[in-house]
Amino acid sequence: MEASPEAPPELPSREWGFLFFDEGGMRRHRSFYSPGELADYVRSMVPRHVYHSAAYYGRPAAPTMKEKAWQGADLIFDLDADHLRNAPRSYGEMLSQVKAETQKLLGFLMADFGFSEKLISIVFSGGRGYHIHVRDPRVLSLGGDERREIVDYLTGRGLDVNRLSYRVRLSGDVGSDNVRALRCPPENSPGWGGRFNSAIVKFAEEIREMDEKSALDRLTKIKGIGEVRAVEFYNRIKRDLVLDDIRSGNLDSLKNLQGIWRYVIDHYLAAQFVEVLGGETDEPVTADVRRLIRCPGSLHGGSGLRVTSLSLRDMEDFDPLYDAVVFGDEPLPLQMLRPFKTEMKGQRYDLAEGPEELSACVAIFLMARGVAVARAR
């Protein structure tokens, strides 16, 4: 696989920045008028990292932000394994988890915000995560505060779970105005309402599939639920039509057990609902309308992997430890500076300090990470 920078839309309006192997600071305030000019610069200068602005400028090469004349910016989401809760230690497992979070976030963006797949660009960062670029004209002019509001929605920050369940008055043959039934949004509801229904259904399915001892143990650990009510809840939740009732938004089909649902929602679902179903993203990146972001097609100088553009269809089968690998399998001698574990192209490596000879793709990854140096044969 070759690595060559891919020019973003509106190339002449983008600012560019570069980090080099032998310099500490970033060279920025550059602009290019054609993909060929950009490619020639990268080939001749060999930067360690290549970035372009999320923003569009009237004068992208101007030396100050004020002089650049900001005209708008792509809506950027940065998902990195460093920000994941309970991230695994294995590099491969870490990348799998952040990929799943990226797919979840894409679902939010298309289902809840209505962004077209055609206006969304997905990029493997070449390191430990993914970037999502939304280029819908409706969001380009949004400022930092508006972009933070989008992040708040995606992550569920400030969401009051208790407001997603409510009581309604029953009247007619089934009761009187004094009778209230517990309801929640049905499963096909948009946004967080539908996710809340899915969480309740999932909880009910898990209880139904447990043996009685395990189910009672789980239920009685929820504050407010004693053994007697737990037994009654377990027996009734196994009835045939209960899940259909919940999916329709009816939490009242288990007569006289509304209180248990209230405890489940208040003391169980509320504690983990947002954490499990909410999206993950780095808020400062999204809110920064002048952010520089990695250029697709370039190499990540901290891994040697290709910063890779992906379609939504590509995401499902994409494995960065195969598909973003640029260098080959020819052996390279190197000196390990410390013990290190990693994996590449389906093979795991548990390396000790000292001399090694490894495939070029692995050796360059290790040297880029700073845990090894080249040595003579």
- Domain ranges in the chain with CATH number 3.90.920.10: 11-156+280-321
Placement of tokens 């395990």 in the chain: 214
Contact call for residues 334 and 374 (beta carbons, < 8 A): yes
Percent helix / strand / coil, the chain, rounded to 5: 40, 20, 40
- Please report, for residues 82, 94, 273, 280, the alpha-carbon distance to residue 86 in angstroms, rounded to integers and kept in the order given: 10, 10, 16, 13
How many residues can be counted in the chain?
377
Burial class (CB in 10 A: 0-12, 13-18, 19+), 37: middle
The residue from 74, 252, 282, 288 that is catalytic is: 282
pLDDT score at 32: 97
Identify the H or E element spanning 66: helix 65-68
Q: Minimal CA–CA distance to 61: which of 39, 94, 33?
A: 33
The residue from 74, 78, 252, 288 that is catalytic is: 78
Beta strands across the sheet bearing 16-19: 27-30, 16-19, 49-53, 292-294
pLDDT score at 67: 97
Bridge partners for 237 per DSSP: none
Q: Minimal CA–CA distance to 253: which of 201, 188, 212, 218?
A: 201
**Which residues does the chain have with pLDDT short of 70?**
1-2, 170-179, 253-258, 276
Q: Which residues contact 318 (CB under 8 A, 6 or more apart)?
A: 99, 124, 308, 310
Alpha carbon 154 to chain centroid distance?
10
Q: How far apart are CA 88 and CA 298, in angstroms?
A: 27
Q: Which letter does DSSP use for residue 326 in this model? A: -
DSSP symbols for 116-182:
-GGGEEEEE-SSSEEEEEE--TTTTT--HHHHHHHHHHHHTTT--GGGGSEEEEE-GGG--TTEEEE
Note if 282 is an active site residue.
yes
Contact call for residues 365 and 344 (beta carbons, < 8 A): yes
Q: How far apart are CA 158 and CA 152, in angstroms?
A: 7
Q: What is the pLDDT of residues 286-343, one digit of tens each?
A: 999 999 999 999 999 999 999 999 999 999 999 999 999 999 999 999 999 999 999 9
> What are the strands, taking DSSP E only, across the chain?
16-19, 27-30, 49-53, 55-57, 70-73, 75-80, 120-124, 129-134, 166-170, 179-183, 292-294, 308-310, 331-336, 340-344, 347-351, 354-359, 372-374
Note if 80 is an active site residue.
yes
Q: What is the pLDDT of residues 95-115, one digit of tens each?
A: 999 999 999 899 999 999 999
CA angle, residues 98, 307, 373, in degrees to nearest 5 = 95
The residue from 80, 145, 152, 177 that is catalytic is: 80
Q: How far apart are CA 36 and CA 44, in angstroms?
A: 12
pLDDT score at 363: 96
Looking at domain 11-156+280-321, which of 3.90.1150.10, 3.40.50.300, 3.40.50.150, 3.90.920.10 is its CATH number?
Answer: 3.90.920.10
Instruction: Provide φ and ψ at 109, rounded to 5°.
Output: -65, -40
